[in-house]
Amino acid sequence: MWRMTEWDMTPQQRLAFIEQCIALGVTSFDHADIYGGYGVEGLFGEALALKPSLRSQIQIVSKCGIKLISGRRPTHTIQHYDTSSSHIVASVENSLKELRTDYLDLLLIHRPDPLMDFDEVAHTFQRLRSEGKVKEFGVSNFSRHQFETLNKRVPLVTNQVEFSPLHLDPMFDETFDGLQDLGVQPMIWSPLGGGRLFTAGDEQGERLRLKIKEVADELNRPFASVVFAWIMQLPCRPVPLTGSGRIESIEVAVEATQFSLSRPQWFEILRAARGHEVA
Q: Is 18 exposed, middle or buried (CB count within 10 Å of its CB: 0-12, 13-18, 19+)?
A: buried
CA neighbours closer than 13 Å in the CB half-sphere of residue 68: 14
Which residues 6+ apart lie within 8 Å of 228 measured at CB? 191, 240, 242, 252, 253, 256
3-state secondary structure 5-37: HHCCCCHHHHHHHHHHHHHCCCCEEECCCCHHH
Please indicate whether residue 38 is annotated as part of the active site: no
Catalytic residue among 35, 38, 81, 103: 35
Alpha-helical regions (H) of 2-160: 11-23, 35-38, 40-48, 85-99, 118-130, 144-151
Local structure of 111: helix, strand or coil: coil
- Count other C-beta atoms under 10 Å from residue 191's C-beta: 28
Phi, psi (rounded to 5 degrees) for 218: -60, -40
With contact defined as beta carbons under 8 Å apart, do 69 and 77 qualify?
A: yes
Residue type, 220: N
Active site members: 35
